[in-house]
Amino acid sequence: MRFIHVADGQYDRGGSRTNRIEAKKVVDLIAEHFKKHGQQFTLGVITLSFAQEEAVLEEWEKRKASDPDLAALAADEGNEPLFIKALEKVQGDERDL
């Protein structure tokens, strides 16, 4: 686990209740993980809200659509190499990283 400050992140209070800049940074880190490790290590991403979970999932889908090589590296072949879940839904799930 590590802390990365997203200095330009902005929470959309009263709107989408997400931080899109933070979601994009999280997806940058997910992409970095798959490019470095492939599926050697599984990865779990835990968000603090359902809204942010959806924001990260949307950004991840956009990134995979624009980068076929990344999509191939992260392809779910039955072993679920990645999960992105809100804190309330993550109990009992385990990943390498």
For 16-50, the pLDDT digits (tens) are 999 999 999 999 999 999 999 988 898 999 999 99
56, 23 Cβ separation under 8 angstroms: yes
How much is the pLDDT for 15?
Answer: 87
30 — phi, psi (to 5°)?
-65, -45
Handedness of CA 78, 79, 80, 82 (dihedral sign): negative
Nearest Cα to Cα of residue 86 among 15, 24, 23, 40: 23
- Average pLDDT value for residue range 50-62: 96
How much is the pLDDT for 81?
Answer: 84
97, 44 Cβ separation under 8 angstroms: yes
**78 has a pLDDT exceeding 70:** no
pLDDT band at 62 (very low <50, low <70, confident <90, very high): very high
User: What is the residue extent of each domain of the chain?
Assistant: 20-89
CA dihedral 97, 94, 66, 52 (to 10 degrees): -100
pLDDT band at 76 (very low <50, low <70, confident <90, very high): confident
55, 39 Cβ separation under 8 angstroms: no
